[in-house]
Amino acid sequence: MNKIRNHKHPYLSAALCLFIAKITVAPLAGQETASDTEAPEMTEQTEKAIDRGLKFLISSQNKDGSWSSQDPAKGGGYAIAGTSLGLMAFMVEGHFPGFGPYGKALDRAKDYLLKRSKDSPTGAMGVKMYEIGLYTIAMSELWGMTSDPEDNKRIQVALERVVEVILRSQSPLGGWRYAPRPDAGQDTSVTAMVFVSLASAREAGVLVPTETIERLTGYLRDQAFDEQRGGFGYQGKGYTIACTAGGVYAAQLAGNRDSEWVSAAINSLENNPKIFSRKDNGHFYYSHYYAMQAMVQAGEEHYANWYPKIRDALVALQQPNGSWQEKEMDYPHKTPMSIIILGTPNRYIPVYQR
């Protein structure tokens, strides 16, 4: 299977990469040009926040190359998710394994993920679908971007194996749940994570059947979308901020950007008074990881209105050590998700582009 997209060379300087990214992003169809709606850029304060966040990740990387929960009760858990997100946090800034100042650390992270896949007889690595989804995104975005050609072959094998796990785990109704089995049920949270990963794999050149996409659309539209509230429920119709953000992003990537129900969900996010409040939005980082990208997909005007709000909120929430961990033994997703959100203007990672 041949990869069908082209990446920027990862060893370009950060400044040059940022310049190229800005001049090569074309105006969005049906949206204002830059002269009408100025796309927001990262402030100097934001760039410093990202740099501090990356340095925290380097300082907290495990000896085996992974990032995980530091809680002994969890046994250093969520290492697949933490390592996948950690790699993406660096990639969103143009840093890749084998290149530049973080090249060796990112090589260790990449090797950890590839070993976990190789050691897994089924390719599912013994983790839940959340982590499988994040792993799939990381492999999709790493493919073709490492310094060793042999690594690219290993990444391709690992990626194709895990996509097969995902495809055979889709429920008859079109969604996914925690266990990698089609009889496990479905919920919107897991389904969003998993389908975003399939969209990333498809962008990389892996075949995702049309039937899979159609069944996903049917699940979101018919089983999870609540017309009265204009959003998505966790299991069945209803409304949560996190599921609405994840559901709308997945629906957009499935080709439903211009549908009325997707537009209604975008509108509900933009008019939710609780969404930018860390106190009132219980899944703050998780929901904004999706919501930021949903606004990119919705068009330049939505993105231009949204990014400065979450940018400023995240800069204010950063801890003195450079992380976004709110307690010592926290989940490993908050810091890399924050960096990914803040780095949105770079538009380096294909699945985070329109």
Domains of the chain: residue spans and CATH: 59-352 (1.50.10.20)
Residue 61 scores a pLDDT above 90: yes
pTM (two decimals)? 0.88
CB atoms within 10 A of CB 237: 15
Question: Are 170 and 214 within 8 A, CB to CB?
Answer: no
Mean pLDDT of all residues in 98-107: 96
Instruction: Give 28's pLDDT tier (boundaries 50, 70, 90).
Output: very low
Instruction: Give 42's pLDDT tier (boundaries 50, 70, 90).
Output: confident
Mean pLDDT of all residues in 316-344: 93
Q: HEC profile for 117-148?
A: HHCCCCCCCCCCHHHHHHHHHHHHHHCCCCCC
Quick one: pLDDT at residue 83?
Answer: 98
Average confidence score pLDDT of the chain: 88
Separation CA 144–CA 352 (nearest Å): 17
Separation CA 313–CA 243 (nearest Å): 21
Residue 34 scores a pLDDT above 50: no
pLDDT digits (tens, 9 = 90+) for 173-210: 999 999 999 999 999 999 999 999 999 999 999 999 99
pLDDT digits (tens, 9 = 90+) for 256-279: 999 999 999 999 999 999 999 999
